[in-house]
Structure 1
Amino acid sequence: MAKVVECVPNFSEGQNKEVVEALANAVMQTDGCRLLDVDPGPSTNRTVFTFVGSPDDVVEGALNMSRVAFSLIDMTRHKGEHPRMGALDVCPFVPVANVTMEECSECANKFGSRLAEELNVPVYLYGHAAVNDARFKLPDIRTGEYEALPEKLQQDKWKPDYGPAAFVPSWGATATGSRTFLIAFNVNILGTKEQAHRIALNLRTQGRGKDQPGRLQQVQGIGWWLEEANMAQVSFNLTDPDVTSMHVAYEECLKDAKEVNVGVCGSQVVGIIPLKAILSAAEYYIQRDNLFILEESQKVRLAINRLGLSSVSQFNPKDRIIEYMIEDESEANTLTSLSLRSFIRNIGARTPTPGGGSASAAIGAMGAALCTMVGWMTYGNKKFMALDGTMRKLIPPLYEAMNALIPLVDADADAFNAFMSAMKLPKTSDEDKEKRDIALLSTTKASIAVPMHTAITANKCWEPMKELAVHGNVQCISDLQVGARALETAVWGAYYNVMINLPNMTDDAFKTKAKSDIDEALKQAQDGAAAVLKIIDDRVNKG
């Protein structure tokens, strides 16, 4: 699996389009880097860039941008609403896929070391890359901003982690580090800058000082005036969205704005955000307003609407949610990205994958989908209005099973391919044989675990299906019957795939448990399908 790191350099230039374009070009011309977003702010005089790549590639991309910034940005002339201390003010590295926080800290150290050595500028480490607690939080490092650097750099406690303890007027200083996703989230206030700042002081973790902390945790905040939109903003950095999410910050702003009699007109996200943050907001409003929404795209739309994320500029999920922005590349070669025609022809080709395991998962997903459809064809139907509450309970587990089975189509093929690769490992020396045996054991377990997961997931459908068979739209009875047989077939397919791999298993305890579990899963599927079909037959016969 490819390692993906997000890099989010903030440069102190948001007004000169030529400089912003030159910085963007620097990263776009770096091999292995993909620029996702450029978010310039004229009032803040700051541009937030977001790009992704492998750990080594993002370090090179950030360095290429820094070289351009060094020649084009002059901090002696900089003015803007956003706190800053350098031409490249901050450059965080964020884990996205198959990368640890420690690896991102290594990126920060490599970048900081090379930046300081090449440009001879002071660099501080913050976040999870910080060498001491006093530098963990970026605002602590940035205290006094650019103007305080000449004196600050002379203090022992503020000696840079890399580079000279000397003031470089045109550059200032740079902070680099590693962190979790930080969400730059601004709430629009139809009032003054002072009113917005008053709200920020009430809510940010720091509050007004040690004796007057704010209400929200892991939140930085400030009030400023957004000239291009002719309104004020409460500007938040949500440093841990799992602790304080966008919707919590937004709703708290609404409360305080009401108290000072000012209006709130939506919000704005600066840069890229993770899908989880949007879905968290959607789930809050679904629960609060007693809505019934399962489709991810509808949840995303709901969150955008409730938070007013398009109030300053259009919020396009494909351009702002990182998972959507990188999924085209990550899913380009997957079986589930193929058309149905191509998928079937791939099964029928002269290749071992996709095979029975992938087909079983696909059949199971279609079975769960048919059952989900029956639920939807009942819910919201005036004729079955009394059953809306029941359908709200029955549809979600079927919908979840459908979505959980889809990725198992590729997982089964991947497990088989990994086993075949292990079979081809050399076995000339004892060391080679040991490595090969370990690889074979691991890949055999995976080849058993995937179809087992298919069976377990498909079997989660039987209980809601039984109730659906009793209450579901009678016009869709045949769809439910096909769904039941499809799910039973999926478990049969999983059973055969487990059984064919068991002889290769050298872990006797694992082998015994797998055999017992798949036997039980098959019986559960047979009993479940029989029960659903009998309920339907009895219902039809009663006419």
Structure 2
Amino acid sequence: MKKIIECVPNFSEGNDLLVIKQITDQIESVEGVRLLNVDPGKATNRTVVTFVGEPEAVIEAAFLAIRKAGELIDMSRHTGEHPRMGATDVCPLIPIANISMEETAAYATRLAKRVGEELTLPVYLYEAAQPDKTRNNLSVIRAGEYEGFFKKISQPEWKPDFGPAVFDAKRGATVIGARDFLIAYNVNLNTTSTRRANAIAFDVREAGRVKMENGKKVLDADGKPVSIPGSLKSVKAIGWFIEEYGIAQISINLTNLNVTPVHIAFDEVCRKADARGIRVTGSELVGLVPLQSLLDAGRYFLQKQQRSVGVSEKELIRIAVKSMGLDELTPFKPEERVIEYLLKDQSGSRLVNMSLTEFADETASESPAPGGGSIAAYAGALGISLAGMVANLSSHKKGWDDRWKEFSDWADKAQQHKARLIELVDADTHAFNQIMAAFGLPKSTDAEKATRHTAIQAATRFAIDIPFQVMQTAFDSMSVIKAMAETGNPNSVSDAGVGALCARASVMGAFMNVRINAAGYDDKSFVSEIVERGRKIEKDTIALEAQILKIVNEKIGV
């Protein structure tokens, strides 16, 4: 599997789109790199760029971008709200897939060494790439900013890790490192006061504020200032005024989403702001966000309302966006801001992205795919979707407020089954296409025949496994359907009954595909085992469907 890393360089230019485009053109010129997001900020005069790829390609693209930024940006003329020290202010590498933090840090060090030596630019390592833990924190390295670095860089303890120990008036210096995924997040306030915004930032950030008594800093036994910690762990924050929007913001870096996720940071800022007579009016994400962060936020805010969390991914994101006001300043488009959506290969979801009419037309065409296996998976998805609907209606039913969590849990299970069955719609067609591709391999020589046979057998095994997964998932979904028939909103009991019919059709239809594909598989012991397991699932499905329909018909009563 490919090793994938992400690079999120921050360039000290947020207004001149031509300059930004010239920098990102360098990134896109490298084969194997995918530019995901370009997020310029006028008030901060800073652009956050996000791109991904295999390590070698990523560090080549990063080097070219750093070089171009140094050519185009003059730091001696730069002003902006965000702390900065160079044309390329910071350039972190983040492990995304099949690569460790240690490996990523090694690539960051390689990049830093090349930048320092070939571009004669002062470079500091940070986070996981910095072996000296006394200087691995970005804010500590950047303290003093561009204006203070002419003196700072001459101090022995601040000698750069690579490059000359002479500050470059035009390009400044840069910081390169490796870190975990970080979210840059700004919370909007109904004030123009930077001082009050900073007070809220100090309330929440982990570092907190220096303790004061009678206007003087309180010192510990070693003569160092005593700090009062803020309320949120793994959070860095400052307050600033954004002239572009005419408001003050809390600018936050969330450095560990497992410790403090976005929604918790938002709510805590709301509480601290309210205590100081200030309102939070919304917020904005800078750059990209992991899908899970928005899904967790959507669930969190629904739970606070005692509403069912068993809704679609799209609805969870909508709730998250509206609850945190992520679209207050600019439109929030998930397809452009969620990292998984940008990385997703849409070619693998051709069928499920069709309209109902398009899907029916494609099924009815002379093409052999999608066939019965994909239709069986989709029938199962429709069946469990009906059960999810009953659960959500029940969760919100008048007089059943004390049962919202019970039905929310059922709806959440329904969503999980539905999501898997939807995936299997396209997976079954992929399995069929793999068999066709294997049969199309050359067979002129004995070697080619052997290779072709092996490919056909591997594709056949896959084509057995996919519909079997459909069977198992559709059958498992029937426990939710039965629960909704038994305990759900009685006005929707017929919907549970239709769901059971769909689930039964899904299981039996998928089993036909298991059997017809198994007929061409050489390993007969495996065939015997999988068919036996399939027959049991089929038998159990028919029995469970009968139980559900009995409940449904008794409740209908006519």
TM class, shorter-length: 0.7 to 0.9
Q: Is 2:334 the partner of 1:317? A: yes
Question: 1:289 and 1:439, CA in 2 relative to 1: closer, same or farther beyond 3 A?
Answer: same
Does residue 1:362 correspond to 2:363, yes or no?
no
Aligned pairs for 1:47-126 (under 5 A) are 47-96=47-96, 101=101, 104-105=104-105, 107-126=107-126
Question: TM-score, normalised to structure 1's length?
Answer: 0.82
Matched positions, count: 541
Contact 1:34 1:51 in 2 (8 A): yes
Q: Answer whether contact 1:75 1:171 (CA < 8 A) is retained.
A: yes
8 A Cα contact 1:331 1:337, kept in partner = no
Q: 1:36·1:325 contact (CA, 8 Å) conserved in 2?
A: yes
**Letter of the aligned partner of 1:267 in structure 2?**
S
Partner residue of 1:308 out of 310, 325, 339: 325
Q: Find the partner of 1:299 among 300, 316, 321.
A: 316
Taking the aligned partners of 1:339 and 1:310, their CA distance within structure 2 comes to: 28
Name the CA distance, whole Å, in 2 between partners of 1:350 and 1:231: 60
Q: Deviation per CA, 1:303-346: give whole Å up to 9, x if none.
A: 2222222333333333333334454x534663322444554565
- SS of structure 2 residue aligned to 1:196: helix
Alignment of 1:234-245 (within 5 A): 234-245=250-261
Tell me how far 1:539 sits from its aligned partner: 3.5
Do structure 1's residue 455 and structure 2's residue 456 form an aligned pair?
A: no
CA RMSD across the alignment = 4.2
In the aligned structure 2, how far is the partner of 1:239 from the partner of 1:379?
36
In the alignment, the residues of structure 1 paired with residue 62 and residue 303 of structure 2 have an alpha-carbon distance, to the nearest angstrom, of 42
With over 3 angstroms needed to count, the CA separation of the structure-2 counterparts of 1:504 and 1:204, relative to structure 1, is farther
CA distance in 2, matches of 1:160, 1:129: 14
Offset, 1:537? 3.1
In the TM superposition, what whole-angstrom CA distance separates every residue of 1:213-243 from its partner, at most 9, and x where no partner exists?
3322211112222222333222110011221
Letter in 2 for 1:193: T
Deviation digits for residues 165-205 of structure 1 (CA, Å, limit 9, x no counterpart): 44322222222233332111122232522222222223222
Could you say which residue in structure 2 is the equivalent of 1:204? 205
Counterpart CA distance in 1 for 2:79 and 2:207 is 25
CA distance in structure 2 between the partners assigned to 1:508 and 1:113 by the alignment: 58
Q: Which amino acid is 2:422 matched to?
A: I
Cα distance in structure 2, aligned partners of 1:196 and 1:434: 71
The CA deviation at 1:47 is 1.9
Q: Deviations over 1:138-178 (max 9, x none)?
A: 22332333345445545665554443444322222222233
* 1:471 CA displacement: 5.8
- The aligned amino acid for 1:212 is I
For 1:119, give the aligned amino acid: L
Structure 2 SS opposite 1:272: coil
Question: Which runs of structure 2 are paired with 1:110-509 in the superposition (5 Å)?
Answer: 110-150=110-150, 152-154=152-154, 158-189=158-189, 190=191, 192-208=193-209, 211-293=227-309, 294-327=311-344, 329-331=345-347, 334-340=350-356, 343=359, 354-374=370-390, 392=408, 394-415=410-431, 447=463, 449-470=465-486, 479-498=495-514
Deviation at 1:403, TM superposition (A): 2.0
The 1:437/1:148 distance shift into structure 2, 3 A limit, reads: farther
Q: Is residue 40 of structure 2 the alignment partner of residue 40 of structure 1? A: yes
Aligned partner letter, 2:81: E
Partners of 1:474 and 1:257 in 2: how far apart? 45
* Structure 1 residue runs without a partner (length 5+): none
* Structure 2, unaligned runs of 5 or more: 210-224
| SS in structure 2 at match of 1:336 | coil
Aligned partners of 1:382 and 1:214: how far apart in 2? 42
**1:530 maps to what in 2?**
546
SS at match of 1:6: strand
Shift of 1:11: 0.9
Supply the distance in 1 between the matched residues of 2:308 and 2:137 (Cα, whole angstroms).
40
Question: Shift of the alpha carbon at 1:4?
Answer: 5.6
**Residues 14/252 of structure 1: CA separation in 2 closer, same or farther (3 Å cut):** same
CA distance in 2 between partners of 1:135 and 1:414 (Å): 51
Distance in 1 between residues matched to 2:30 and 2:22, nearest whole Å? 13
Matched letter for residue 91 of structure 2 = C
What is the alpha-carbon distance in structure 1 between the residues aligned to residue 304 and residue 122 of structure 2? 49
Structure 2: distance between partners of 1:118 and 1:35? 24
1:126 positional shift: 2.8
1:521 aligns with 2:533: no
Q: CA deviation at 1:95?
A: 4.3
TM-score when scaled to structure 2? 0.80
Whether the 8 Å contact between 1:30 and 1:64 is mirrored in structure 2 is no
Cα displacement (A) at 1:49: 2.1
